[in-house]
Amino acid sequence: MLALYPGTASLDQLIGEFLNMAPPKSAEEMLNRETEHRELGQELQDLLTFNQLQKAHQDKDFVRGTVAAVKGTDPRPLKNMGWKKTSVQLEGGRTARFKTPYLAVEYPEPTRKRQHKQQRLRGKGGTGRFPVLEALGLTLHATPLVQREATREMVRAQSYQEASSTLASRGLEVDVKTLIRWTQGVGNRALAYRTELLSEAMTKPVPNDGVFAGKRLLISEDGGRARLRYEIKRGRRRKSGRHGFTTEWKEPKGFVIYILDEDGELDRDYRPFYESTLGDADAILELLIGYLRLHGAKYAAEILVVADGAEWIWNRVAKLIEKAELEAERVFKLVDFYHASEYLTKAKDLCRYLSKAQKDEFYGKLKGYLALGQIDKLVKLLEPYVEEKPAEASSGGGKEPKDPMQGIINYFVERKELMRYREARDRKLPIGSGAMESAIRRVVNMRFKGPGLLWKPENLEPLLHLRAQLKSGWFNEMFLGLLRHEQLALKDEFGTVVQHVNSITNQHDGQRASN
């Protein structure tokens, strides 16, 4: 029924090879022994995983239960086609080839007129399902551990080729196209899981025992850069036979949520929460609200919202407070001090008639007023340097041009209530959004922004989510939660298959740790 890829040794042979190895007598021999130990360990790992697959298929109640569960949850009419040959990639690098139950969509008997149309109904991945493999998390023809490790490396590495080389050095030699297929598959499933999880959080009461309850929080939003690629599906083809494509720069938006300690520093006992999306400002806001509700931010002791001066952020803070059910008295809003200081530098440079020493002294006074939150004094100091300009006719209706210094003054006047920096320090709150800028750089710009990097929107969206989970330290929990979530629908009178997927996942992790 089951068989590993030809050439695999038996368990007794592997153990015998371990015991009969001669001791090393040089550094080079020691390196060779370590390499051999790793390879034998990977082969042993695959044999043990294969043994678990064999036992699962020998459990008649489990097999019948998964078949019945899949047929009961799929809206399409499925027909039991018996046991079909398939293969699954194992983490040690080998392939398990075996027969497993297969369900296919039951269509009416094809006629000559229908036959061509019926064939078009079949997608790239087929229309059938493997119930036992789905129950064990062996979707995409790979074990759960293979999917997790391959996906992690694909979103961690700077390129797909680098990820493929790194995995090959560990013994998992797979072509780049397969790695992309696995990563996109896991990513799209993770997006669906996130949507369902946050949708429930929006309708259920906010838990009073969430991780944010009683904590001091820092919330920030910002945007990165990525270049999108859109296929041209109409018009004359090029010499290559393709229609070509167009490109567009896009700002993937993201947020961070940190837990602060009593001194206003990032609490290292808690991992941050990152998220990113190609969606607009409302889309990232909905995700942020969902996270805050899911983890009980309503009951947080204090919340700091700090960001740069972008209007798309601050125009939505009121909605954030309302939808997340936050107490407005506990929310402290602040424009990033260092972002605001950049406007002071621009103001200093506009003072053309001051010497360098006078400009430096002038800048020191401005920054001092800003640090104390004395915006009125700062504005009063800038007003004498506004240059009056006569109105000039223009095609736009003859509007009077604004002096650059006046624009800077308006910036500070409009954000006066968001610049209470002295009060923030008294409350031991940070006055900058460096954590957000670092997150955007690590999640978005370092991986998805670069010369020659072009992304299809449907491919980039799941990658943004996966990389955000990786860089925030929640990747393993996200993947395990995804596996458990996908098993909830597979229940029937034979019991739940969650126990089986947890068993095989724990077995994989134990084998990997032993190697």
H or E element: which one contains 294?
A: helix 281-294
**The pLDDT of residue 70 is above 60:** yes
The model's pLDDT over 199-234, given as tens digits with 9 standing for 90+, comes to: 999 999 999 999 999 999 999 999 999 999 988 776
pTM of the predicted structure, to 2 decimals: 0.86
Domain assignment present for residue 421? The answer is yes
The count of domains in the chain is: 3
Within this chain, do residues 237 and 294 fall inside the same structural domain, yes or no?
Answer: yes
Inter-helix orientation angle 27-58/11-19, to 10°? 160
Do the beta carbons of residue 385 and residue 305 sit within 8 Å?
no
Question: pLDDT value at position 120?
Answer: 47
Q: Is residue 157 helix, strand or coil?
A: coil
**The pLDDT of residue 470 is above 70:** yes
Within this chain, do residues 18 and 103 fall inside the same structural domain, yes or no?
Answer: yes
Domain assignment present for residue 393? The answer is no
Question: pLDDT value at position 479?
Answer: 96
**The pLDDT of residue 391 is above 70:** no
Within this chain, do residues 56 and 188 fall inside the same structural domain, yes or no?
Answer: yes
Smallest Cα–Cα separation from 154: which of 473, 447, 472?
447
Question: pLDDT value at position 33?
Answer: 85
Domain assignment present for residue 464? The answer is no
Question: Across residues 248-266, what is the average pLDDT?
Answer: 95
Do the beta carbons of residue 436 and residue 468 sit within 8 Å?
no
Domain assignment present for residue 197? The answer is no
Which of 67-81, 183-197, 201-215, 290-304 has the lowest average pLDDT? Answer: 67-81
- How large a percentage of the chain has pLDDT more than 90? 69
- What spatial distance separates the first Cα and last Cα of the chain, rounded to whole Å? 28
CA angle 490, 494, 497 (to 5 degrees): 40
Within this chain, do residues 39 and 114 fall inside the same structural domain, yes or no?
Answer: yes
Question: pLDDT value at position 235?
Answer: 63
Domain assignment present for residue 351? The answer is yes
The model's pLDDT over 433-461, given as tens digits with 9 standing for 90+, comes to: 999 999 999 999 999 998 889 999 999 99
**The pLDDT of residue 123 is above 90:** no
Smallest Cα–Cα separation from 338: which of 418, 432, 419?
432
Within this chain, do residues 297 and 324 fall inside the same structural domain, yes or no?
Answer: yes
Domain assignment present for residue 467? The answer is no
Enumerate residues 6+ apart whose C-beta is below 8 A from 470. Answer: 152, 155, 156
Within this chain, do residues 89 and 235 fall inside the same structural domain, yes or no?
Answer: no
Domain assignment present for residue 397? The answer is no
Domain assignment present for residue 237? The answer is yes
List the domain range (segments joined by +) for residue 450. 210-335+432-455
The model's pLDDT over 318-336, given as tens digits with 9 standing for 90+, comes to: 999 999 999 999 999 999 9
**The pLDDT of residue 118 is above 70:** no
The tokens of 219 are what?
């919330």
User: CA-to-CA distance for 420 and 431, rounded, in angstroms?
Assistant: 9
Question: pLDDT value at position 388?
Answer: 73
**The pLDDT of residue 265 is above 90:** yes
The model's pLDDT over 493-506, given as tens digits with 9 standing for 90+, comes to: 345 444 544 555 55
The model's pLDDT over 291-311, given as tens digits with 9 standing for 90+, comes to: 999 999 999 999 999 999 899
Question: pLDDT value at position 505?
Answer: 52
Interstrand relation of 216-223 and 302-307 (parallel, antiparallel or unpaired): parallel
Within this chain, do residues 375 and 509 fall inside the same structural domain, yes or no?
Answer: no
Model confidence at 197, pLDDT cuts 50, 70, 90, reads very high
Do the beta carbons of residue 130 and residue 142 sit within 8 Å?
no
- Average pLDDT of the residues of the chain: 87
Within this chain, do residues 146 and 170 fall inside the same structural domain, yes or no?
Answer: yes
Q: What is the DSSP string of 418-480?
A: G--HHHHHHTT-----HHHHHHHIIIIIHHH-STT--B-HHHHHHHHHHHHHHHHT-HHHHHH
User: CA-to-CA distance for 413 and 402, rounded, in angstroms?
Assistant: 16
